[in-house]
Structure 1
Amino acid sequence: MQNANATRPEHGPADHPKVARGKTGVLLANLGTPDSYTYWPMRRYLNQFLSDKRVIDYPAWKWQPILQAIILTKRPFSSGEAYKSIWNHDIDESPLLTITKAQTARIEETLAEAFGSDVMVDFCMRYGNPSTESKVREMVAAGCERILFFPLYPQYGGATTATANDEFFRALMKEKWQPAARTVAAYYDNPGYIEALAQSIETAYGAMEEKPEKLVVSYHGMPIRYLEEGDPYHCHCMKNTRLLKERLGWDDTQLVTTFQSQFGPEEWLQPYTVEEVARLAREEGKTRIAVIAPAFSADCIETLEEINEEIKESFEEAGGEDFTYIPCLNDDDAHIVALSDIIKDNLKGWIG
Structure 2
Amino acid sequence: MSGPQRVVIAPDSFKGSLAAPEVAGAIARGWQREAPDDEIVQRPLADGGEGTLDAFLAAIPGAQRRRIRVTGADGQPSDGSWVWLPPGAETPGGTGVVELASACGIETLGGRLRPWDAGTEGLGEAICAALDSGVTRLIVGLGSSASSDGGAGMLRALGAGTRDARGLPVAPGLRGLREVAEVDLSGLRSAPSGGVIVLADVDNPLCGPRGAAAVFGPQKGLLQAEIADADASLAAWARHIPAPADAPGAGAAGGTGFALRAWGGEIESGAAYVAEVVGLSALLTADTIVVTGEGAYDAGTASGKAPQVVIQLARSAGARAALVAGRIDPGAELSDLAAAVSLTELARGAASALAAPRHYLELAGQALARQLSASR
Shorter-chain TM range is under 0.3
Question: Normalising by the residue count of structure 2, what TM-score does the alignment of the two structures yield?
Answer: 0.24
Question: Normalising by the residue count of structure 1, what TM-score does the alignment of the two structures yield?
Answer: 0.26
Bigger helix share: 1
